A and B are shown apart, each in its own frame.
Chain A
């Protein structure tokens, strides 16, 4: 598909499009996304919405921020959404990063990751109710 984004007009092959049927909290119309590398060695990636006027996010692998990130809770939350039924379904997990103006510190939302079932490329922003994480966790790479 072709989409006009802040990165200009992007032509994205179907197999790279991520579908979030429920949208994101606060962005209920944002359904189709693509993950874009920033640089070969970059920890952060862009998650660009392909729908008209769609938002752009920075995301980070939450397992880099916390090596003990609870994959079992991620899997359970996806299961509750009906998006990953099999116990071995491969999942991709991304935490939304906020970079506020100085002097506030950058944070990652470890409470509500965006999780995608890799085979179907369908996903959702889920809430890890029992994780104890907040929406603003310090963005440090462990």
Chain B
């Protein structure tokens, strides 16, 4: 992994179209601004992983619970 040191206000460019700027550093937190073209998704890593886990979990529904759940949810 490439590791770079930057000061506040300094930037990193990734390829032609992606730019990362350090906007603030305070009490162990770093605030970053990221510019990327439309279609390049940007995620906080832990949120992305939570969504991966949730999709995988959702792809294995406990089907035996479906009739009961639908009775509770569905309009008559």
Contacts and interface: CB of A to CB of B under 8 A. Distances in A.
- State the majority secondary structure of interface residues on A: loop
A73 interface: no
A57 B58 contact: yes
Interface residue tally on A, bucketed by range: 35 or more
- State the majority secondary structure of interface residues on B: helix
A135 B50 contact: yes
Contact of A43 (B47, B52, B61, B70): B70
Contacts of A112: 51, 54
A112 B38 CA distance: 18
Contact of A57 (B38, B59, B69): B59
15 contacts: A26-B51, A27-B55, A38-B70, A42-B70, A43-B70, A43-B75, A79-B38, A82-B39, A98-B58, A100-B57, A109-B54, A127-B47, A127-B51, A135-B50, A139-B73
Interface of B: 37-39, 41, 43, 47-48, 50-59, 61-63, 65-66, 69-70, 73-76
